[in-house]
Amino acid sequence: MSVTGSTAIPDLLSIAAPFAIPRPGAVVGVVGVALVMVLTPGPNMIHLVSRSIAQGRRAAVISLAGVAAGFALYLVAANAGLAALLLAVPWLYTAIRLAGVCYLMWLAWTALRPDGAPLLADRGLPPHSSRRLFTTGLLTNLLNPKAALMYLALLPQFVDPAAGSVLFQGYLLGGVQILVSVAVNLVLVLAAGTLAGLLARRPTALRIQRLLMGTALAGVAVVLALDTSRPAPAG
């Protein structure tokens, strides 16, 4: 049976529709949000930089792989309907958000207290095996309130049902966020040792860096505490 040009074009469009590309503005928006989130000090940054200084770049890169796996799990869970579950049980999302607020405020206090350690400091961490490095990175990210906020509340805002498959857009935009986060964190862990050595010779710079980190952590905690949004439905 022959297929005419007029019928072939709609058939091709119907095949490509489930894989429609998100709007360029959505991709740019996700890149911007991902940069802000990854450059704001948080559990992932503190863990990776501390591990890089204490055990070396290779150890930090293994932990970074665990962090990336945590992002991937969040992405799959969000697209599988976790956001819908939290919509149906509002108090659960509130509990997760408030737990994250408390954790961030504790991190802020550890940085701002008089005897607090700066971000780029050797915390005397014992060496870990490759498996434990990966697992610690994974768990650190799964318990990171910024990761939960990204996938359950922020990322769905950039999905446009009119642009095609909501599921495909969710995975594609999530992949963009993971690439941005991994790239920035990789630069940080590779440069952590050098930066720590430079700052160690400048006590004033260390105090300023500790003040900035503590203030940024407290700021993120306040934003989360005041946030009244709910997880966006996946589609």
Query: Could you write out the three-class secondary structure of the chain?
Result: CCCCHHHHHHHHHHHHHHHCCCCHHHHHHHHHHHHHHHHCCCHHHHHHHHHHHHHCHHHHHHHHHHHHHHHHHHHHHHHHHHHHHHHHCHHHHHHHHHHHHHHHHHHHHHHHCCCCCCCCCCCCCCCCCHHHHHHHHHHHHHCCHHHHHHHHHHHHHHCCHHHCCHHHHHHHHHHHHHHHHHHHHHHHHHHHHHHHHHHHCCHHHHHHHHHHHHHHHHHHHHHHHHCCCCCCCCC
Residue-wise pLDDT tens digits, 148-175: 777 877 777 777 777 777 778 888 999 9
Over residues 162-189, the mean pLDDT reads 88
Give the pLDDT band (50/70/90) at residue 41. Answer: confident
pTM score above 0.85: no
